[in-house]
Amino acid sequence: MVLLTFAAILCLCSLTNAGFVDDTLTVRFILDKNGKSDVPVMKIADTSDRRVTALFLNGLGLYMLSDTIGALTALHTLNVDNNNLASLPKNIGSLKRLKVLKASFNKIRELPSSLTRCSLLVHLEMDRNEIAGLPSPLSAWTRLEILSLQWNRLRNIPAGINELRSLKILYAGNNEIATIDERIDSLTEIEVISLRDNKLSSFPQCFCRLPKLRKLDLSSNLILSLPEDIGDLKSLTDLYISSNSIEVIPPTIALCKELRWLYMDNNKIQQIPEELCSLSKLQWLSVSGNALTELPTRIGDLTELTVLSVSYNSLVTVPESLGRLKKLRMLNLEGNELVALPEQIVALHGFGLKYGGKEYGSLNIKSNRLCELSGKVAAWADKYCMGWRETQKCEK
């Protein structure tokens, strides 16, 4: 009788744990199929209520992900980054509770259409693959907030993306994107867009209709100009437009009152509009590698400025108001045609900028024509820019 009771208990326990046992066997099968029999299941899986809820298969050298993964119906997080996967399983849509899918650094060429059935998806990261498009329709991804498709083979941002009404972050840099569907302005919740290193020939005007857009990176494209409507981006804090072919900065940029970081290096900009100097929150202004011959006389109004980089332009002088930038920690004037510096510049001190553990620089006035600086200014330069004298382009 005791043995029967004990057997009954064992049977009951096995039924109670059936889901958990089945889940772990499924994970074990996936590992063994990839020759990873030495990897313990519980080392790469999280569990809850006797089910596998998160699976971290990243960096294991997997070459395939079998359809058996569809049995893990409690899975909400799947990470298969840094493997050798050529595809995702066709039945991945069976993972109805999936919220986070990361499959970067693989060899995936397309996303299975069944993935659109994962209606709870919040975070999709597919960087460094060979993806040329998105599955359709995308209308089921009503909760998707983060979409990252950097370093793939996208040629456009498809029209269907306007269905992602909860999208907050879009990373699609380092692709071959040349066109963007104007209906992207339906993404009223979007806050961050990165399309750097693509083939855009114009600034997408539809972006100017995105009320919550805070960070926009369009660096390293083929953009020739900025729209007058750029001033409609009232929430914009960071704008990166370096390495394009932009010649003119519209005065309406001054209407982007929240702007703090502005990168415009390596363009063809000939003038910074005086209106830009009303950006009272601007902290970082970088316009190196352009065609500037002068700076705005009102540049001293940018009292929050921490970094001013205008190296490798054609500046001959800088305004006296520069001396009012008391928060400046990095001033880069290298590689211009400067013949003098105003006396007021000696009011600047405390150079040396470190940010995020990285040292960016301090004062740089090398490679100019500063051959006859006054004693006071020369002493100031000696203090903050060692070796500047030897680099000046002086006639001998």
Residue pLDDT, tens place only, 91-140: 999 999 999 999 999 999 999 999 999 999 999 999 999 999 999 899 99
What pLDDT is stored for residue 3 in this prediction?
A: 38
Q: What predicted TM-score, i.e. pTM, was given to this entire model?
A: 0.92
For residues 374-390, give the mean pLDDT: 94
Residue 282 lies in a domain: no
Q: CA separation (Å) from 7 to 113, 188, 256?
A: 46, 60, 73
Contact 194, 174 (CB under 8 A): no
**Whether residue 108 is found in the same domain as residue 204:** yes
Helical residues (DSSP H) of the chain, grouped into ranges: 2-16, 18-33, 41-44, 375-384
**Whether residue 46 is found in the same domain as residue 8:** yes
Domain span holding position 347: 292-396
**Whether residue 91 is found in the same domain as residue 205:** yes
For residues 349-370, give the mean pLDDT: 89
Residue 74 lies in a domain: yes
Residue 312 lies in a domain: yes
**Whether residue 196 is found in the same domain as residue 300:** no
Which CATH number characterizes residue 139's domain?
3.80.10.10
For residues 7-27, give the mean pLDDT: 57
Residue 284 lies in a domain: no
Residue 122 lies in a domain: yes
Residue 124 lies in a domain: yes
Cα–Cα distance for residue pair 175/133, rounded to 1 Å: 11
Residue 285 lies in a domain: no
Cα–Cα distance for residue pair 382/117, rounded to 1 Å: 65
Q: CA separation (Å) from 90 to 45, 145, 167?
A: 22, 23, 25
Tokens of 218: 């369009």
* Long-range CB contact pairs, 242-249, < 8 A, 24+: 242/266, 242/267, 242/286, 243/219, 243/267, 244/218, 244/219, 244/220, 249/273, 249/276
Residue 207 lies in a domain: yes
Element (H, E) at 285: strand 284-286
**Whether residue 98 is found in the same domain as residue 241:** yes
**Whether residue 240 is found in the same domain as residue 330:** no
What pLDDT is stored for residue 19 in this prediction?
A: 55
For residues 385-392, give the mean pLDDT: 95
The total number of structural domains that make up the chain: 2
**Whether residue 216 is found in the same domain as residue 340:** no
Last residue of a domain, one of 276, 309, 335: 276
Last residue of a domain, one of 276, 302, 326: 276
* Long-range CB contact pairs, 129-137, < 8 A, 24+: 129/103, 129/104, 129/105, 133/158, 134/158, 134/160, 134/161, 135/110, 135/111, 136/160, 137/163
**Whether residue 269 is found in the same domain as residue 307:** no
**Whether residue 209 is found in the same domain as residue 94:** yes
Q: Is the pLDDT of residue 384 over 90?
A: yes
Contact 235, 209 (CB under 8 A): no
